[in-house]
Structure 1
Amino acid sequence: MEEVVWVVPFLYRNALLLQRESRDFMADGKAEDSFESPAIGKYRDKIINGPIIRTILWLGFPPLLNQLVVVSYSLADTYWLSNYSEIVVAVPRQMWPVLMLFNALTNALTTACLSMVSQYIGGKAYDKASVEASRFFTVSILSGAVVGTFLFAFRGVIFGLIMSTPQEIFDDIMAYSGVMAFDLFFNYIALTYTTLLQSVGDTKRPAMVNVISLGINILLDPFLVLGINPFPRLGVVGAALTDVMGKIISIIGQAYILRKSYPDFKILFTGDINAEWMGLVLRIGIPILVLGLTNGFAFLVQLRLVNMLGIVAATAFSIGFVIMDSVDAVLWGLSGAPAIIIGQSLGADKYERARDAALKATALIFAIVALLVCIIYPFKRAVADVFANDPRILNEAELFLHTLLPTLPFFGIFINAVSAGRGSGHTSFPTALGIFRLWGIRLALGYLLAFIMQMGSIGIWLSIALSNIVGGLVAILWIMYGKWARPVIKKD
């Protein structure tokens, strides 16, 4: 826990130094509304003029590599936890919807940040992009502190009363979530730095930083989980501690990159947060916040339904999602790239290019995810067997994968629609669609099939699969015909 303590003074000293530099920058009063910045704008021409598929791959490959390492860490984490105790494999998945719920605010803030900063960069208003960076940095730190404290204080209520976590793993989830409350705070800061770098078009170096931090996590995981000398045997707490260490490394690395490579970003704590700015942030971010909160609550309810089916279903659910995440690595890695292209293209008044980028990204992601599903589907039982010895858990995990794997390409279409909303700032429709697919299909239909019609776990698995298909089909219609390809910023 020492890392949690010493990083705060580091951030504070860094902020004070940047604040002094910012005063010098603002004091001369001669900065124009739009000035040429070779640092912030150095990728602009390539992003708004380059071949779309090639640009998507150029922007998306570093996050894709990072996501592959994330998946590798998740697989390794699951494997080492299964060696510690087979049922504690379910603990991180119990935490997942809670983290989704508490990360809803940072997702809303980073969506607004990406939309506004990338569009200002696309329009060459680099000084305004710098001001926005400071505002989002300030709000993110304050927000992260509040939500992290809340999670730590109320985790007993969340996992005991709301989620009905199985008693076999309740003590483990309480210990795990206590450490992850600190991880949540640092995640707010790390994601803000990542979003600022992505807004510029620099996706390579933040990915490299995260790959390094995750590599350290992978190396430390067996030592902290299993208690290999000289470390104590910490189980799920050890897994959580490696997550916290990784976030701290990510923050330090990305802060260094921003300061050294993009000095025109004057990132500091600021009180320059006015009503007009808040109005625009709310306009962009509220739909994403609503989506994040409703998603978080939906997944809490979904996991409660799974928990009601017993520890076998809960463990199989966790194993199944770990395996599906390995397929979705391409999706999560590439889906951020079209948002950058869309944001900067709209800022440069290239509306048709923005829509073209969304369509081509959708086709690319659908094709790649479909190919990966075809590769892994024949080996689904063998892969699940790595994490489970109990034949009941293994059979349930195989049924889960048999039902859901074929629907992942459609889920990719939906996520790409969310990306188009992030880049353009028009987030209302993806939000409404996301709420419907979760609450209307996954939960309502899942409860009907599993408990009213007494189909058991297959009823829940079928409802998840149907939500992916419906969400994808509706999303592609919005990408093709929706009125989202227009900017949200005002250019003087």
Structure 2
Amino acid sequence: MRIEENRERILYGPIGRTLLWLGLPLMVVQLVNVSYNIVDTYWLSRYSEIAYAVPRQVMSTFMLWNSIAQGLMAANLALITQLIGARRYDEARKYVSFFVSATLLINSVASIIYFILRPMVFSYIVKTPPLLYNDTLTYSGIITLDIVFSAFTLTYSTILQSIGDTRTPALINFGAASMNMVLDPIFILGVGIDGSMLIPPMGVAGAAYATILSRFIGLLLLYDRLNKKYPYLKPRLTLKIEWEWLAKNLRIGAPVSLMMASNSLAFMFQNGLINQFGEYVAAAAAIGLIMMDLADATLWGFTSSVAVMVGQALGAGLIGRARKVAFKSMLYIGVSTLIGSSIVYMLKEAFISVFTDNQVILSEADRFITVFLPSIVFFALFFIGMSVGRGSGHTMVPTIMGIIRLWGIRILLGYILAFTIGLGSLGVWIAMSLSNVVAGLLMIIWVARGGWAIPVIKTREPATV
């Protein structure tokens, strides 16, 4: 059986090679996603001098409404990987159905609430600059549908990754992101022949439509491949969800949802700090954050592999294996992120100039990248620790660290440095960098102590199919 083959490779294969086997497809997808963000920003920069800052205004608010889905994903990644590691496939199939059913119900309601409340959010929390406000409302109104589509994409990707199949979601997400890149210039700038417009230019609305359409196509493909490739785990919608599953999801997923909601609010307030310095600083931050996405693109794919390997090892009772995965992952991914950051630093000036020739934006983006980039390697270590927590099901300590990282250092210290001490936007950039350094160092200590190396499923004689 394919599930059994993946399990054996994850549990007994060489750690470095298995990390590559699981993580490379996801890394490629992340690079494509980052490339999509670059293309999105590029075409919006051709449409307007500042319109490319709009998606970044919306991104943090989007995280808040997807926080419950993130908690469900973290909890079920731990549960399903550990059940598969223990060869309890019948329970894994049942949990898959509960997972999909809960995602549909929760995110459908969340999308309606988001659509209604978004004007207040952008007016009073994010404090979007006046010149960006109308475009931000337009973009966020269309992208509301993605609260459902992206949650289901994460759900089906998580199920496949729990099995050890990272290639299927990687290939499909690669195709969806590529489709998005093709649609972007068509929808943003329009298409005309002989002076007549076949597709009118839609600006930020076009960017949103391209995202929604490509995500929906990718979701249909994920649904089809899971049902055909792993029919044994085919989910069935149900409202008869067991209390035991709900209790486990609350215990494991609630801290992650809390952290994601807290992160989202913190990012909104961070945007509020940045936006107080005007549209040009907001635009510079948008460019700089894309550079950061490139630097840590290697990180995101491999962190999912760490969670899968840790979860299956703990489910199989291989505690020593789980510890080795955690330690070696920190070493491998930390070094690779350092290399990626160094390459990005060397290319920063050429990259920034692709999006703007405004000297104020150029100077501010360069300063942001110079201050923030050295902290990326510590963010990588922090994120590996988060993955260890998610794979093991012990998410509370990483959640507390994440809240301190954003609220205690990034927001509070950022406000003090920017406004009390008077460093301006530089104070915000310094606080952002320090938040990553402190969180990364704390996470190394937590992983080394090893209190997370305990399964969250009941251990009993495993069953086979």
Q: TM-score, normalised by structure 2?
A: 0.97
Question: Do the aligned residues in 1 keep the contact of 2:226 with 2:234 (CA within 8 Å)?
Answer: no
Question: Do the aligned residues in 2 keep the contact of 1:342 with 1:420 (CA within 8 Å)?
Answer: yes
Query: 5 Å matches for 1:112-191?
Result: 112-191=75-154
Q: Which amino acid aligns with 2:42?
A: Y
Question: Do the aligned residues in 2 keep the contact of 1:115 with 1:423 (CA within 8 Å)?
Answer: yes
What whole-Å deviation, never above 9, does each CA across 1:184-237 have from its counterpart, x for those lacking one?
A: 111111111000000000000111011111111111110100112332101011
2:443 to 454, 468, 475: 475
User: Paired residue for 1:398?
Assistant: 366
What whole-Å deviation, never above 9, does each CA across 1:14-41 have from its counterpart, x for those lacking one?
A: xxxxxxxxxxxxxxxxxxxxxxxx1433
User: Paired residue for 2:296?
Assistant: 328
Question: Do the aligned residues in 1 keep the contact of 2:291 with 2:344 (CA within 8 Å)?
Answer: no
User: How far apart in 1 are the matches of 2:405 and 2:28?
Assistant: 29
**Are residue 194 (structure 1) and residue 157 (structure 2) matched?**
yes
User: How far apart in 2 are the matches of 1:486 and 1:95?
Assistant: 38
User: Paired residue for 2:32?
Assistant: 69
Q: Which amino acid aligns with 1:192?
A: T
Per the TM alignment, residue 405 of structure 1 is displaced from its structure 2 partner at its CA by 0.7
Per the TM alignment, residue 311 of structure 1 is displaced from its structure 2 partner at its CA by 1.0
Per the TM alignment, residue 272 of structure 1 is displaced from its structure 2 partner at its CA by 2.7
Question: Do the aligned residues in 1 keep the contact of 2:413 with 2:431 (CA within 8 Å)?
Answer: yes
Q: Which amino acid aligns with 2:251?
A: R
Q: Which amino acid aligns with 2:231?
A: P
Q: Secondary structure at the match of 2:232?
A: coil
User: How far apart in 1 are the matches of 2:347 and 2:253?
Assistant: 41
User: How far apart in 2 are the matches of 1:404 and 1:361?
Assistant: 23
**Are residue 234 (structure 1) and residue 211 (structure 2) matched?**
no
Q: Secondary structure at the match of 2:355?
A: coil
Q: Secondary structure at the match of 1:40?
A: helix
2:355 to 387, 391, 394: 387
User: Paired residue for 2:307?
Assistant: 339
Query: 5 Å matches for 1:70-85?
Result: 70-85=33-48
Q: Which amino acid aligns with 1:272?
A: K
User: Paired residue for 1:110?
Assistant: 73
**Structure 2 segments unaligned to the other structure (5+ residues):** 193-197, 461-465
User: Paired residue for 2:195?
Assistant: none
User: Paired residue for 2:240?
Assistant: 272
Q: Which amino acid aligns with 1:313?
A: V
What whole-Å deviation, never above 9, does each CA across 1:277-303 have from its counterpart, x for those lacking one?
A: 211110000110110111011111111
Q: Secondary structure at the match of 1:386?
A: helix
Q: Which amino acid aligns with 1:403?
A: V
User: How far apart in 1 are the matches of 2:73 and 2:204?
Assistant: 29
Per the TM alignment, residue 102 of structure 1 is displaced from its structure 2 partner at its CA by 1.3
Q: Secondary structure at the match of 2:419?
A: helix
Q: Secondary structure at the match of 1:269?
A: coil
User: Which stretch has the larger CA shift, 473-482 or 170-179?
Assistant: 473-482
Per the TM alignment, residue 266 of structure 1 is displaced from its structure 2 partner at its CA by 3.2
User: How far apart in 1 are the matches of 2:301 and 2:2?
Assistant: 24
User: Paired residue for 2:271?
Assistant: 303
Q: Which amino acid aligns with 1:477?
A: I
Question: Do the aligned residues in 2 keep the contact of 1:39 with 1:264 (CA within 8 Å)?
Answer: no
Question: Do the aligned residues in 2 keep the contact of 1:403 with 1:465 (CA within 8 Å)?
Answer: yes
User: How far apart in 2 are the matches of 1:74 and 1:102?
Assistant: 21
Q: TM-score, normalised by structure 1?
A: 0.91
Question: Do the aligned residues in 1 keep the contact of 2:60 with 2:265 (CA within 8 Å)?
Answer: yes
User: Paired residue for 2:260?
Assistant: 292
Question: Do the aligned residues in 1 keep the contact of 2:414 with 2:430 (CA within 8 Å)?
Answer: yes
Q: Which amino acid aligns with 1:459?
A: G
Structure 1's consecutive aligned runs of 4 or more residues displaced over 6 angstroms after TM superposition are: none
1:315 to 256, 261, 283: 283
User: How far apart in 1 are the matches of 2:292 and 2:53?
Assistant: 15
Question: Do the aligned residues in 2 keep the contact of 1:130 with 1:266 (CA within 8 Å)?
Answer: yes
What whole-Å deviation, never above 9, does each CA across 1:343-362 have from its counterpart, x for those lacking one?
A: 10000000111111011111
**Are residue 93 (structure 1) and residue 61 (structure 2) matched?**
no
User: How far apart in 2 are the matches of 1:369 and 1:276?
Assistant: 39
Question: Do the aligned residues in 2 keep the contact of 1:131 with 1:266 (CA within 8 Å)?
Answer: no
User: How far apart in 1 are the matches of 2:2 and 2:111?
Assistant: 34
Question: Do the aligned residues in 2 keep the contact of 1:44 with 1:201 (CA within 8 Å)?
Answer: yes
**Are residue 246 (structure 1) and residue 210 (structure 2) matched?**
no
Per the TM alignment, residue 276 of structure 1 is displaced from its structure 2 partner at its CA by 2.1
